[in-house]
Structure 1
Amino acid sequence: MVGAVGGGNCRVEGTSITTLTPSPIMLTECHLRLASTYQVAVYIEDSNNRTDGSLYFLKTVTQPGFSNGFVVMPMVDGNVTVVTLQFTAMQPMGKAWINIIPFSLASLALRTIRSSRSTLLLSCTCSATPMSVMSEQNSMGADGCRLSDVMIDGTAKEFALEYCSLAYLADYALMVYVAGAAGHDDGILAVARFVTPSSNQFELDPSVASGITTNGASISLTSTVPGKLWAFIAAQMWALGGTACRHIGVPATAQLQTLSLSGCSLTHSQTYHAFVYVEDDSGLGDGTLSEPIDFPVPGSSIFVTNPSVFGTPTQTTVAISFESPTLLAGLVWALVGTQEDMAKLDSVSIKVGIGAICRINGQAISSGAHTESISGCTLARGTEYALRVYIEAGGLPGTMSTPTPVLVPTSNGFAEAPTASSPTQTSVDLSFRTLGAGRSWGVVVASADVGLVKVTTIKAGTGAINGVCKVTDQAVPNTNVNMMSFSSCNFVMGTTHKAFLYVEDGNGLGDGMLSGPVDVVLPPSNTFDVAPFEERTPTADGAAVTLTPALNGNLWAMITSDITAKTLAEIQAGTNAMGGASCLAVNVAVTGGISYTHAFSSCSLTAGNTYTAHFYVED
């Protein structure tokens, strides 16, 4: 049977026909390709065997789909020696073809599936096809670098490809094609992209091994394998210095080695970058270039430690201390200014004195520890300024300090922060302890007015609750605990107010310290000893609720159709209350400690609905 597909069970030869009744013929193990059209040839003749019968062709189309696929897409881990891959096919029986081609031949249209082991895994709708993979077209290496017609099942598989003759730092595609057991081109082709590593790398990354000077420094490193290396210091990617400031193709030993770079003619206070490149002995330019190595050259004069404020600064003078190990005669510039201005300074603007409130201008210094005084300042007490210091030697670029805080202390302050005690509806006491004798002011304001309190307003007494809840210019005789009493305040009960204290010395210059806000917590004027509860089951007419107030006072109540909490004003006004006046409690006198039952009536409630009773009690 010329051209017939499948094995012996996929054909019938010379079968006798003994009846005219239609009888089925089953063809199996035909290994048909999916989504394909076939012709079933049927030939019949009489029993005389004269080949004079009739031939019929029946068209049949196999179902669409793929004969195999991937449960786990191929994952690859490759170098120039061995490429290892793993995948899991979908079918319990099938075949696989695996080979490696240059990625450029498989990269027309690759759809990302996911990422694993830093390798991009892709399904392929590209120039490579199942047939090109099955025919090993463009495949790399010898027989050990490709697998063809390999039987697989639905379990995880791992293969190692060898003798692939791959180049370093090259981009490849691992082609994996899986099909059903028939081995047609109706399966799934996937590609796992990988890039081979460089021919040499760094076991120990390059780093500066010795002190950096304008002459140069040393760099230490360890390469992965013996080879060659190059090293230089660069500015804007141009190598600096002469031949002693670079290494060109010198041996890389695969052991810790130190490269000396000298005669580099570097500039003080500049940061350069050093680079090291290493490869194997083949000289193919397929090695590893290091990340830029920071190469900060110190200034002509440097600080052993950052300058600091010496002693306590005053409004007119700031003393500073620093130490410089320079052996050359040097100069110092020092400025005190606002924090914002000092943050902007550089070596040019500090010499000009930009933003300076007071400064030292190019004063000569020698090597060693220094204490210098900056005079002529006009600093405000309690305001934080900043100090910047710049030193240089020999007229060469030097070193700028980081900003150092400068704070002139206030003329008086708090040794213990104020605390409130014994608040009532009309008064409150604040206790405090100061750093010295002087004068004090106080004010109690509403919480919403906290942002308006300043030294000028507290001394003027503005913003006080009811205009009278303040204390003005009270003497502070000593550093013992002092008391400030506020009266006639008429506080709103059940509210938190804010108190402030301000203290200064006795000179009246407004250069003292303002406290932070102190909570003055006023309890409610009345509350419930026993919270309201239903006396009996409510009806459509209304409900009865019993409560016990803590003190003598007055009660307001209402019923609403929602559960939202209501404000004091809403309860007193009966806002959105059910029913009429008989379904409210308005200014009802109650007695402290005595149970009171309020009957709500004519409320027009609906059976099955939920309502809420709201109560407010005050003295």
Structure 2
Amino acid sequence: MTTNVFYFKFTPEVSGNFWAVVADNADEGFVTVWSIKSMQYGQPAADCRRDGKFVTGGLENTEEFLFCYFERGPTTYKVFIYLEDTNGQEDGIMETIGIIVPGSAEVSNEYLVRPYLVEPATIRGAKVYFQVRRTGYAWAGLIEESSWLTRRAVNNSNGNHADRQSIEIYDIMFFVDMVGSDQFCYYSAVPITANAGYTWEFLNCGLTPGVRYRLFIYVIGEEYWDVAVDPDAVFRSPFWNQWHRDNGRVSNGVLVVPPFSNSWAWPDGEPYISKGPHGMGLDVTFSTERPQALVWAIVQDATSTNFTINAVKTAQLAWGPGSCRQMGVPALDAAQYTLTLFGCSLLPAPKQYVLILYTEDQAVQNDGTLSDPIYFEVPVSNDFVIPPAVVGEAGLDTGISLSFEASSPGRVWLYLATAAQAAAVSVTIPNVKDALNAFDATNCMVAGLEIPASLQVITLPSCPLVYLSSYVVYVYVEDSNDHFDGTLATPLPINVGASNSFQVEPALVSVPTTDQVDFRFTPTKSGRAWVVVTPAASLVEPPTRSHMKASIGAVGALSCRVAGSQITPVEQTYALTGCMLDPGQIYALYAYAEWHVEDQRDRGDGTLSRIVFVKVIRSNNFAVSPVLLTTPTLDGFDVRFQAMVSGRAWAMAVDAIGGSGVTSLSIRSLQGALGGSSCQFQDFAIDADLQVWNFTDCRFQESKTYMIFIYIEAWPAVEGDGTLSGPMIASFFDASNVSADDTDSETGGEVLTVEEVPIVSN
């Protein structure tokens, strides 16, 4: 056995399962059947325990336990083996085997000369010399001291007694945590000869200057396999046996510290900002410790940094253009140098940056020294006491005026962009100073205008703003040094309203009639107006500007609309006539106003008013709806009705085919009336009493249907503002004539027998 591996064997009486753990003298008193079956105690490695392994009765069973990591010296161990049949009743047998680990004096090889460096280390690696006592094999590699020092000090790694802390043998044998390439910076199972001296070179290790490393060599004798335990071991390769033998010797850890090829001179050679910083850049001053140096300098955004040699030398995450960095600049003498970084477009505070430098010798082996990061902010050279704001109203006819106040004298840059142009460009000081994506670089921009430290109003009277459009205004101020270190105001959104609107919205000035609608409104400025009256029921949504200007949906004659009438910013009064409004129906009146320029007449950039509802009040109505008193004959019929107030009445019978076209105006002229004069009533005076009218000489025909209407107005009244009854039906297709249901709540239709009322004939 060794400190890592041992073998044991047993023969079970019957087939079953067994459990086995290896416990030290601190844990052995706690091992029970229950704990061994639950694997609670013992060495932790899976290969150093067995958990319910099946074995066949009567056959010898040999077990190899690996990676047990026994400690040499006074510590003792026991193997606990529990065996039972396959029924799992915990009624088996527990046996123990004592283990004595080989002592430290029993190592298979030793050093005649401990390893030591034969020349200074470099970042590529190191060269070491050593001499061994016996023929055997050796492994060697480097590990960072920071990693090595965190390991627990143990005596199972066969380290030299003068070097109390070492690393695990298997870390060396399996290249665990080693640095560099396993092909060039590592030796594995190399044959060595007794009393011979060896010089090994470690290359391509990728060591970091100033970092401490330790180089370890592990040697073992050529007879490190145990033929008595494993007769086939002589035929196995050393690479198989390295899993099974750890009885060699680990060297002391040879200290390897690659030096810096150059660094910053002590005590005052560390880089510092000697001029600036400002928006365009800065100057940095330094001294190198050795001559023939190369220096790199870059600026990074403090929120996104990479402080590595490779990042600095390749300008990773570097801020600004190529002029804002210095790459491999020679510093031939060990003297003070100043480098200038310019064109950086650094943003002013609170934006934070970091400057970092790197120096090495001219061998360019990445073995130099990084400076400490130098964090900095660019002081603001000018600011706003009063931020930019729009003065008055922006528009095509007025341009735009902006007010602001700077904290100190300097210069201002100002321009406008459309909302789409603004979205396509990032907001930076260089972009604003260059007016990138300006709406109109001729009429809507100010570039570098000198300003005092007082309230300023800048007017761009010829800026051709488009009404009903959105813009963004950019304003930037700085001092007179042109270092891009001023203040960029928060982009100011501008919504240019309509070219004209209403100081006072449209409103009716009198009660509408069937013929006339009177209204008024006050626009905000001179221009033109359009007005329509349209049935409200036909509107799904307000009319568009183009519909207004085309008078789409307008009712009545041309005199019942306004089309492009000139207006001034005082109260405008209109009387719309010839509207032919139907009493009782609701109409909508809209007005549209825009500013007028002769050559831009159809821009459609004005304002549509809110809706004004228009309803003609009926001058008279039915207290009792008209109904037939008798069954109509081919000669005539009788009708009864009653008006709400005294006034005038009209009545006629028409062919049912054209009855749907009867209106309050057509019945007044008896348009389509049938029969003689005694079958019609025109402009007949009535009072508020019950009326019974007799119609004769109607000249109805068989197999036809007719409609009978009555219309009433007050007196005096506006023509057509009364109430037209629904049709009463007279049908002569058979002997039975029954009036149809009324289509209006104000009409009737059934034949009635009533108290005696005077009958009126015409």
TM-score range, shorter chain: 0.3 to 0.5
> Which has a greater percent of strand?
1
TM-score, length of structure 1 as denominator length:
0.38
* Bigger Cα Rg: 2
